[in-house]
Every structure is written in C-alpha cells, then in structure tokens.
Amino acid sequence: MPSETEAKPDLPPFACTFSPSMPALLWQLGVSIAISTYQAGKVIFMSATSPERMIQVARDFPSAMGLAQNGRRMAVATINDVVVLANSPELAPTFPPKPNTYDALFLPRASYYTGQMNVHDMAWGTRGLWVVNTRMSCLCLVDDEFNFRPMWMPPFVTELDPNDRCHFNGMALDGEPRYATAFCPGNRKGAWRDYDTTKVGLLMEVPSGRVILDGLCRPHSPRLHRGQLYVCNSGAGEVLKVDPAAGTFEVIARVPGWARGVAFHGDYMFIGLSKMREARGDGPRDLPVLKEATHSGVVVLDLRTNRLVAELKYLSSVEQIYDLLVVPARRPNILNEANQERRLALATPNDTFWGRMEDKKKKEGGDGDGDGGPDKGQAGS
C-alpha cells in the first residue's frame, strides 16, 4: 500500500494512502480500525503488518452504518438487519485459507430483522443493544420479539412514525443513553430538509431532553470518553469538547472533511472523514467544509495536545464513512454470511473446531479465502 499522497490513474478498488505515522501508531498500540461505509456497502478492517505497512480486509454488509462493540461481540447495522458477530481468537490462527495469519476472527452469530429503520449510531448498554432509529426519530432497543422497542423520543417529536422528522442520528451511552444529536427540532414528515441545517443542529441530554447546544452544523457521533463528552460538528469539519452542565464547548480540532464516526483508544481519538455527496435536495450546499471534503478516510487526534498525528486517505471505492471502532487485535479478520468458512467454524465456551468442507467448490465471486480483491480485502501489502 503506497504512502505517497498523490492519486494515480487506473487505481485498484479500495486504494488508499496514509501518513507514515498511521501504521506506526497502530503497530505501537497493537490495534486495528473497523470502518463502516454504507456507500460501498462494506465493513473494512485496517491493520498494520509492520510499523511501515498496512493491509485491509473488506467484507460485504449492505449499507453498513452504525457499529458497536462489547467484549468479544461486534454489531453492524445494515439496510434491513442488525448483525451480531463474535470474535473467536482461538479459531483465528487456524483459519483454513490462511493459517497463522490472524489473531482475531469475527464470525456471524445472530441477525435481527429490524426493517428499514435507517439505523445510525449503536451501542450496548445495561439493558441491551441500543440503536438510533433515524427513520422513526427515536432511541430503541433491539430484541428478537419485535422489529424494535421504542424507548425515547426528543421532546419536540410528538408522534412515532416512519418519517424522519428531525434526522435524529447520534447517541452517547454510559450504561444508558445520556446524549443525542439531531439536525433540527423538526416535527413533521421530512421537516429537517426544510431547515437551514447549518444553523439549527442540536445536542440533547437524555432522558431529560434538555438542549445542551443548538446552532450546530449537522452534528454527528456524540461520544463519552474518560468522563468527557465529544461531538462532531460535521458540516463545519470540527470536533467539539462539550461541557454539558455549562452548555459550552471548545473546538479541539478542525479536520479536512465531513467528520463522522468516532472511536477512542487511550489518548487517541480516531475520526472518520467523508467526501461531500452530490446535491440531492437534502438541504443547503454552502457548508463550511464543502471545499475541503474531497476524500474520505480517517484521522487520529492526540487528546494530550489536540493535534492531528496520523491520516489515512481513500483514493477509490470509499467516499462515505459512517462509523469507526478500534479493534484490540493486530490482524483481525471478519466473515459475513457469504463466506463458506463461517459455516465450518465451531466454537463453544471451552473448545473450538473446524468442520469439513463437503463441497470444495468456491462460490463464483465469493470472498472465502481471506484477503485479496475488492470484497476479499487486500488493498495493498
């Protein structure tokens, strides 16, 4: 994977460049980055194979949006489902197509048919898996009895219906939901599209509904880390540190793109960047970040200095990033339902096994052999 910054003609799928500090940092921390991109329909694991080089594994997850992590479990929101996977580090080293390669292997465990809720943020709390149901303008819990259980709506939303009234999108949890974001205080079908959403975005307290900040520019990704509240002021390309009690904020970083998707590891904040979409009638196009948001990728902020210390930039295939996770593994792999190997992987609390492949013919165009190719994941080595 090249480290130069210029794009080249005839780029392969998922081509990207990175600052030398990006693989060095991931290698030092012993972690990888999980990236969801709804536009490309993938979950991507980005890992360092040395302090100088990186590799990626990309798997199909239709319209992948919110990501959540809890111990060994990982959840992915797709267009119709929330898919729960679990890591089996015991099976990873013996992955049949590439033994002695991986130190984590995320395998599908359950799929909850939610319907098209346009799920944005997700997180596990004390009562289960919480999701931001953007289409229904509410926070809800995912379970196996209903499509979803509505739990909370912003106070200005007076009716539960599938009409995306305020573009309710972000959530920060501390056991229970504590903060949430929306583009505007709209209360009718598609009302947010009629607002100047560069000026009316909200950060709210949950469950009181108290507005902590207003006048934001299309906010996303509120997150709590070490007792501090952060939020992306996406349309302005800003990362804010918020004092909820005082209702004030500090701009701790300006980033070269549409900031959305945040994950933390120690003193480091990983921030997803997206390219500006073509105008499609969803509001004003005079966003402050418009001219800078020409690529998608990931930047890393050192919270000790509030300086950007590493960058990854996609040159092809990926234009929109929704969410990030920091995966505590140097070289994780992830399988979706199309991978034949996931049918052979058997894990119990005490043992792991690989079953036998009865039909050894690979599905044409499948992605069962680990890395390599646009859906098999190796964008460079």
Of the chain, the percentage scoring pLDDT greater than 90 comes to 84
Residue 361 has pLDDT above 80, yes or no: no
Query: Model confidence over 188-238: pLDDT tens digits?
Result: 999 999 998 889 999 999 999 999 999 999 999 999 999 999 999 999 999
pLDDT of residue 366: 41
Confidence class for position 18, pLDDT limits 50, 70, 90: very high
Which whole number is the average pLDDT over 174-195? 96
Query: Model confidence over 337-354: pLDDT tens digits?
Result: 999 899 999 999 999 999
Query: Model confidence over 27-81: pLDDT tens digits?
Result: 999 999 999 999 999 999 999 999 999 999 999 999 999 999 999 999 999 999 9
Confidence class for position 9, pLDDT limits 50, 70, 90: low
Residue 179 has pLDDT above 60, yes or no: yes
pLDDT of residue 278: 60
Residue 3 has pLDDT above 60, yes or no: no
pLDDT of residue 277: 73
CA distance linking residue 298 with residue 48, whole number of Å: 14
Residue 2 has pLDDT above 70, yes or no: no
Confidence class for position 174, pLDDT limits 50, 70, 90: very high
Mean pLDDT (the chain, rounded): 90
CA distance linking residue 191 with residue 165, whole number of Å: 5
Which whole number is the average pLDDT over 116-139? 97
Q: Does domain 17-348 have CATH number 2.120.10.30?
A: yes
Query: Model confidence over 270-297: pLDDT tens digits?
Result: 999 999 876 444 444 567 787 888 899 9
